[in-house]
Amino acid sequence: MAQYIMKGGNPLVGEVSISGAKNAALGILAASVMADEDVLIENLPDVQDINMMLDAIREIGADVTRLDTHTVRINGKGIRELSVESENMTRIRASYYLIGALLGKYGRADVPMPGGCEIGQRPIDQHLKGFRALGAEVEIVNGRIRVESKKLRGEHIFFDVVSVGATINVMMAAALSEGRTILENAAKEPHIVDVANFLNSMGANIKGAGTDVIRIVGVPRFHAATYSIIPDQIEAGTFMFAAAITRGDIMVKNLIPKHMEAISAKLIEMGCEVLEFDDAIRVVGTPRLRPVNVKTLPYPGFPTDMQPQVGTAMALARGVSVLTESIFESRYRYLRELSAMGACSKVEGNTAIITGVEKFTGAEIHACDLRAGAALVLAGLAAEGITTISDIHFIQRGYEHFEEKLRALGAVIELANNERDLRKFMMVAG
């Protein structure tokens, strides 16, 4: 099984360009099947989750043409199957976005329960509440979600909790419903705005995305469109913390600084220098980070997907930091891996108390999920000695050419597919 093997101790220095946002792209790909004309999507990230979603869309009958690595043309006119059978859809959380898309367009959908990383429960009750409010009948049978409606009608829907997935899913279905829909207590993440903008580019009438009240006037059909996906907020944040964790100096390019404000604020609080430009942010690390307190919150708060990265930085800070996870309850497993590298932490419920150490030492560890895996790579690049990380398929789900981008910044890291690769690395790295 493939592993990352790295020799730590080199500060990461240079420039890195951020890919398209995976979380936005998954919603946009699902929404693209709602049009019976050609939809051109640009700045698509080349990662496993995206490729699995494209395969599923192709399998239900949509015409999918990959024009190049980051551009795809999709036409949903040929869809003949409203039951999504692709095995890949049980592996990614965003499988449920096809429910809203197919329900809105055809009035019916049958999709597997969502998969993804094991970071805690992913309740879909708010999705189902929204579909029912629009007039759909919903049932869960044998691990599948089945929804059906003869006619969807607009409704005033108040989400009980802020849910990114439910906001996107119900927004898609409502965009082709009859009448007006109001979504209150909606999530405000950047990729919700991106999906709404994409739907509008196909002819939807959606206003208020990015606020907690979204207003939708249903339209009868969508038309052709060309759309470019926003940069990935979490990939950008990961490289910003790479500078902090390795005491480096990285210019992170092709991002939207407004999306990074919560992340930038914590880096500054930890003692890093953060310089903001029109579409880039430069982060300069400090010899020893300061401790901070962080609580993950829905946007514009500190993102839950950045929790392992900030937790890794806390483990190298001078003093005690407190990290509180308010979104997913099983997101601290990476701390057990960090302890093998010398980190010191204690978890009590949804709070981690992290006492910083002066340095990490290399170890054999494994990626527990997508974002934790990326954070552990950064830990390995800061550590003294050799670190190997297994289960890197998690990381490859959401980071495009991760090891290549890190090497361009000076990292000593390789993808090892077998024992021979490991031995070769050890000989070269010394």
**Residues annotated catalytic, as ranges:** 117
Instruction: Return all residues near 154 (Cβ < 8 A) that are at least 6 apart.
Output: 134, 174, 177, 178, 179, 180, 181, 216, 217, 218
Contact 195, 27 (CB under 8 A): yes
Its sign, for the CA torsion 328, 334, 336, 338, is: negative
How far CA 290 is from CA of 219, 245, 267, 285, 346, in Å, comes to 52, 12, 9, 11, 19
Contact 222, 357 (CB under 8 A): no
Nearest to 257 by CA among 233, 285, 284: 233
Q: Which two tokens stand for residue 368?
A: 């527990």
Helix axes 22-32, 233-245, angle to 10 degrees: 170
Helix axes 22-32, 48-59, angle to 10 degrees: 10
Kindly provide the residue ranges of all beta strands, DSSP E only, lying in 163-224, ordered along the sequence: 180-184, 205-207, 213-217
Q: How far is CA 201 from the centre of its chain?
A: 23
Contact 286, 247 (CB under 8 A): yes
3-state secondary structure of 101: helix
Its sign, for the CA torsion 379, 381, 383, 386, is: positive
Question: β-strand 320-324 against 293-295: which pairing, if any?
Answer: parallel
SS3 content of the chain, % helix, strand, coil (to 5): 35, 25, 35
Report the alpha-carbon distance of residue 331 to residue 295 in Å, rounded.
13
Question: β-strand 205-207 against 156-158: which pairing, if any?
Answer: unpaired
3-state secondary structure of 26: helix
Report the alpha-carbon distance of residue 391 to residue 393 in Å, rounded.
5
Contact 354, 311 (CB under 8 A): yes
Phi and psi of 328, rounded to 5°?
A: -115, 140
